[in-house]
Structure 1
Amino acid sequence: MKPVRAFGSLLTGGGIVAAWLALGGGRLPALDLLASFLPFFGVAALLGLLFAGWRPWPTVAGALLALVPLAIGIVPEWLRDIPAVAASAPQVHVLTHNVWSGNADPAGTAQAIIDAKPDVVMLQEVNGSFRPMLAALGQHFLHATECPNGCDLAIFSRWPIADGDYFLKDRNGRKFGPALLWARIAPPGGDPFMVATLHYPRPTSRDQAVRRRDVARALARIDRGALIVAGDMNLTPWAAAMREQDRALAPLTRMTRAPSWPRALPVLPIDHLYAGPHWGLVSARQLPATGSDHRPILVTLARR
């Protein structure tokens, strides 16, 4: 049993150290990558305590050392204020989903999107095995954006799309900012609103920080009152980079908390939706898995 106990001690110690280091991402960006996996570190530390055997004081101390950084990192996300609105108000159902370039069941994923009955669909990684399904979605959602070659994004709507592009445009029609797919939706009997979808690189890439900065600067140049931005952001809410983005995108509010990755046991919320101050949240939930490595997220909004 000694090797098992030694392994448990190492697992506990490593999990505790990694969990505390993950909290340092705000001061040292290199540590922020660890923040994405903060829940795993806590689980590893507690699992290690089981292998190490029950000894009252070391076990209690180890559990506290493991749980405190989890509480510091994760609890503020669940206490964060999200503007709510009555479910009786006219609603907009928005689905965001990374359909994954290696999707093992593209037809099943497309059917799940259709069955969710969203008003607006924003997809990422459509450039792989899922691409043939875009035509199938087009039969159920009569309006869609056009994306140039190499673009892996798509927007579908059951309402007319008045305008859209792969880059934002100023009042004179000049394009600016980083590439992101957007559409201006014109619901019948309601005010138009703009949606945009994007896909950030992984947090291991230096390009992600540059992309986040460029997106925030570009969105600051447009009217964000009724804007909705969603996509695979490869960021968890307990990462310092996510907190920084929440501030940078204000007055947009991040409406999502639901975990979306990995598919089998989603514990990490990395697919997000932001909405401007004209919107309030009715609900946001994770949908069942299909062939993608992400779960789709369905968000219901209503005008405030």
Structure 2
Amino acid sequence: MLTTIIIVLSVITIIGTFIKLLKEDAWWIRFFDFPQAQLAVLGMLCLVGLILELDFNIWWHFVLTLVLTAATVYESIIVFPYTWLANKESKRINDVSDECTLSLMISNVYMYNREYQRLVKVVKDTMPDVLIMVETDLKWEHGVKEIEEFYPYTIKYPIDNTYGILMYSKLQLQGSEVKFMVEEDIPSIHTYVKLRSGDLIKLYAIHPEPPSPTENERSTERDAELYLVAKEVEQVEGPVIVAGDLNDVAWSHSTRIFQRISRLLDPRKGRGFFNTFNAKIPILRWPLDHVFHSTDFRLVDIQRLPAIGSDHFPMYIRLAYSPDRPNDEPLEDPAEEDEREEAREKIRAAL
């Protein structure tokens, strides 16, 4: 029985690893982008079991072990940049003035969660300069109304379809727009944030639709929104931040193309996964809530915040705008022409 279980789990690991190589947008294929760390660990455990249990004089036992080894190595390579052993993309800075810093909190509140005060407490404990909340309806807007005393600038688009978005800011917002980049009922916020130093930061707050049987049967629309933002960022002259629940993991093929086109940095690389979903199921967690920034920022602080009753943990980051001491060039290679063409095809298919 034990041998059978090990073999079945090994086959699941192999299928889950290599099915992602299919360039298909079906949700049941793209789902396997998410649990790559879990598949890497499962593969390691199964390898130990195979070595102890199988008879390598039987040819298919030997082949199974070889293929599982390849799958485990592949998964480990994919998630390695998010371990403490890897190089850091975002350089840290300690001696910094508040004048040039921006602290940001992002939180997918889960629309049906009504524990407003848990979020309010985290906000009051953290006091970010900018707060982005997604999956917000009118009840959430009213439920957290007391925080408005700290935030004189707001952009609100609450909807009861789980794609509402609210932004609260201590800092002045300029040129603010609510856009519907791909789908007419999924908003994103595009705005400039004026730092205390007077510098303007372009901020994109997005929450594209995930590939899932209950949301969207394909990943095309999600990927298209990521690529559209990346192409916009590529044309922006000045500092940029992209933040939100991207409904994609940091190590996926689509997020890597997003980074290669936008040339933005991921502050988690070399520091950890910072898994934000699923807050209620510890064994099934991966990083869905992201902050990417241009090379003229340095990292002051990054942390996952306490649970608020949602299926997502909030994320907090504090960045310092330091154009005189920029980060090194991004470690991701620039997008190649075939990747740009893939992005164009996804955008055409979605629009």
Letter in 2 for 1:229: V
The residue aligned with 1:103 is: 113
Alignment of structure 1 residues 163-178 onto 2, 5 Å: 163-167=175-179
Could you tell me which residue of structure 2 aligns to residue 175 of structure 1?
none
Task: Assess if the C-alpha contact under 8 Å between 1:100 and 1:130 holds in 2.
Answer: no
CA RMSD of superposed structures (Å): 3.0
Change (3 A) 1:280 1:61: same
Give the corresponding residue for 1:260. Answer: 276
* Pairing 1:74–2:92 present: no
2:302 paired with 1:292: no
Q: TM-score, structure 2 length as denominator?
A: 0.72
2:173 paired residue number: 161
Cα distance in 1, alignment partners of residues 4 and 43 from structure 2 = 13
Does structure 1 residue 191 correspond to structure 2 residue 202?
A: no
Letter in 2 for 1:82: E
Structure 2 counterpart of 1:227, which letter?
A: V
Q: Distance in 2 between matches of 1:104 and 1:243?
A: 35
Contact 1:255 1:273 in 2 (8 A): yes
| Number of aligned residue pairs | 289
Deviation per CA, 1:193-249: give whole Å up to 9, x if none: 2322110111343321222232233334433x2221100001112211111111122
In the other structure, the counterpart of 1:113 is 123
The answer to whether the aligner puts 1:201 opposite 2:209 as a matched pair is yes
Structure 2 equivalent of residue 89 of structure 1: 96
Query: C-alpha distance in 2, partners of 1:94/1:290?
Result: 17
Aligned equivalents of 2:145, 2:107: Cα separation in 1: 17
Give percent identity, aligned residues only: 18
**C-alpha distance in 2 between matches for 1:82 and 1:230:** 17
TM-aligned CA distance change 1:231 to 1:253, over 3 Å: same
Write the mapping of 1:168-247 to structure 2, written as runs, cut at 5 A. 179-204=187-212, 205=218, 206-223=220-237, 225-247=238-260
Matched-pair contact (CA < 8 Å) for 1:102–1:128: no
**Distance across 2 between alignment mates of 1:166 and 1:28:** 31
Task: Measure the CA separation in 2 of the matches of 1:141 and 1:231.
Answer: 19
SS at match of 1:235: coil
Check the 8 A contact 2:43/2:69 in 1, yes or no: no
Question: d(CA) in 1 for partners of 2:123 and 2:136?
Answer: 13
5+ residue gaps, structure 2 = 181-185, 213-217, 323-351
Does structure 2 retain, via aligned residues, the 8 Å contact 1:8–1:50? no
Instruction: Find the aligned partners of 2:179 and 2:71 in 1 and give their Cα distance.
Output: 44
Runs of 5+ consecutive residues of structure 1 not aligned to the other structure: 169-177
1:12 to partner: Cα distance: 2.2
Contact 2:298 2:319 in 1 (8 A): yes
Q: Distance in 2 between matches of 1:239 and 1:32?
A: 9
